[in-house]
Amino acid sequence: MTAAQFRIWAALALSSLVFSLAPVRSYAIDPRFELDSRVLDKGADASPREKGGRSPRKGSRADEGISDYTITPGDHIFKILMRDYGLSNREAEALVPEVRRLNGITDIRRLRVGQTIRIPLARRADRKDVAERSMLPESSPTQAPSSRKSLASSADVGMLEGSKSAGHPLRMMSLAVEREPVGVEPVRQVWNSLVPTQTFSPQPVTIEDKNFSLSLDPSTFPSFPAADGGRVLVDADGKIPPLVKAIIEEKDPTIRIVSETPRNRKRFMSSLLSSARFYSVEENVSLEFGADPKLTVNADFKIEKTAESVLRHDLVLMNVGEYRHGMPSSLVQFLSREGFQFLEPFSPREATVERGGRTLHQITSRETRGIVDGLLKAFNVRYEADRNVELYGMGDGGLRLHVRADRYFEEEGGRYVVSYFDGDPVSYTLTRLLETRGYRVIMLDPKDDFRKVSEKFLARLRVAGVFAQHDMLPVRDAPYAIQMSGFRMRGTAGSSNSVFLTNVELDTLFRDLLDQNGYTVIAH
């Protein structure tokens, strides 16, 4: 080996040693990207459209539990449930009441943007079962399953799908029944008095859209003209589904739907009047006329049709209460003179009043002596005027003294003397001496009024009676009340008889009302 060859061999050996001692970097494909030969033997999967499955929605959650959803512009509950949670129309309709209750929502179409609501998600099988049961008629619990199935299938009305992204089909039950709900016709008969200027024709509610058409039978769903030119639609039995209500109110804002039943007269009329948009509607109104006697008229509703109703004396009072008695014709005429029109759509309950047990004595005199004579007549007492009453007789030492009594009467073994004090001290002393002889003296002052004179009489006669403003009518459900000042005296124990003493002036109206409530009015 030559020296040159040795140097070449040594250089190669040294290079090999250096490369063997240096760190080695290996480059290999990541196992995740390695292909399996078995995969290559399979065909490609079908696309999502070919699978026919529903793409996941924004609000989708587990099949059961509670989901939180944040409201965005244009949302309402039906849209959220069907678009974001994949519910069918029937399932969404069954779930809406629970969503409203859980979140305290009153209007499903008026949600606040940014508000977070909670969506209860039951198992899908449970939702389907509830939805199917909610679509069955409530009035036929014993109906055969086959009949129910045929009814539900025949009641489905589909929306026209304009494109593949048109959404879910709209289904609604058949809304036809045989006749108008009971209790609506009496209201219709008086409604013209409330809205007389409207040219209204009870045409069916019809809504046409490119995706659907909707029509409601006017005999099943009657409507009334509203004060603002709109229409009030009555859904007495709650047969219109919430989704259909939302569609009607969205497509025609002039239509307001009342879902109360006429069987509850007051709630039904309250909803009807509120939806009619009158200028003012007040409930449970009491109107007072006069001071003594005072007449109080009770009405379920007071209606101001327009802002000028008060100035024009064009106010309406209405009673619809099931247990309230009717308004007497004399009182209706009085209210008309005062600017109130009284309406009573439903037949009132007849009042039964016992006659002959109540007597009202009206003392018409304003002078003391006349008041005394009137009271004595009211108590049916026979009396003598200007009688000389013996104070001392011949048996009293041969002295005889008589004192003049302005009124003298005897009652239940007692002797009574009525004397008017005129300022003479001698006469006053002699009259008081009569009390030592067993007489009951009623001393009156010329300035004594009806109340003072009556209190002195009742005290001497030992008759219970308190002067106050009393309620005169015994009927609790009467649409009016009368308060009057005077003395009320009850009859014997267990008796319903009563006597009332008063000096108030009674006009024809009060006399008529008292007579209709069993009073016999006697003026003295």
Sheet-wide strand order for 223-225: 223-225, 231-234, 255-258
Q: Each residue of 391-409: pLDDT tens digit? A: 777 666 667 788 888 899 9
- Given 448, 470, 489, the domain boundary residue is 448
Angle at alpha carbon of residue 329, lines to 324 and 330, rounded to 5°: 115
Q: Each residue of 136-179: pLDDT tens digit? A: 444 444 444 444 433 333 334 333 333 334 444 444 444 444 46
Check whether residue 256 and residue 284 sit in a common domain. no
Residue 409 located in a structural domain: yes
Judge whether 77 and 118 are in contact, CB under 8 Å. Answer: no
Q: Which two tokens stand for residue 192?
A: 């013209």
Residue 406 located in a structural domain: yes
Residue 128 located in a structural domain: yes
Residue 48 CB burial class (10 angstroms; 0-12, 13-18, ≥19): exposed
- Given 403, 428, 448, the domain boundary residue is 448
- Given 262, 289, 321, the domain boundary residue is 262
Check whether residue 304 and residue 245 sit in a common domain. no
Residue 226 CB burial class (10 angstroms; 0-12, 13-18, ≥19): buried
Q: Each residue of 38-56: pLDDT tens digit? A: 544 554 454 444 444 444 3
Check whether residue 210 and residue 256 sit in a common domain. yes
Residue 102 located in a structural domain: yes
Q: Each residue of 255-305: pLDDT tens digit? A: 999 988 888 889 999 999 999 999 999 999 999 999 999 999 999 999 999
Residue 43 located in a structural domain: no
Check whether residue 235 and residue 189 sit in a common domain. yes
Of 315, 374, 338, 325, the C-alpha closest to 473 is 325
Residue 41 located in a structural domain: no
Check whether residue 130 and residue 70 sit in a common domain. yes
Check whether residue 258 and residue 188 sit in a common domain. yes
Print the domain residue range for 317: 280-343
Instruction: For residues 209 and 214, give the distance between their C-alpha atoms in angstroms, rounded to a whole number.
Output: 9
Neighbours of 511 (CB within 10 A): 16
Which residues pair with residue 67 across a beta bridge?
119
Residue 303 located in a structural domain: yes
Average pLDDT, the chain: 77
First to last CA, the chain: 170
Q: How far is CA 179 from CA 320, 357, 394, in A?
A: 23, 49, 98
Check whether residue 194 and residue 251 sit in a common domain. yes
Check whether residue 77 and residue 124 sit in a common domain. yes
Residue 414 located in a structural domain: yes
Tally of structural domains, the chain: 4
pLDDT at res. 144: 42
pTM of the model: 0.62
Instruction: For residues 42 and 20, give the distance between their C-alpha atoms in angstroms, rounded to a whole number.
Output: 45
Average pLDDT of the segment spanning 97-111: 79
- pLDDT exceeds cutoff 80 at 335: yes
Which residues pair with residue 390 across a beta bridge?
402
CA 370 to chain centre: 52
Instruction: For residues 399 and 220, give the distance between their C-alpha atoms in angstroms, rounded to a whole number.
Output: 100
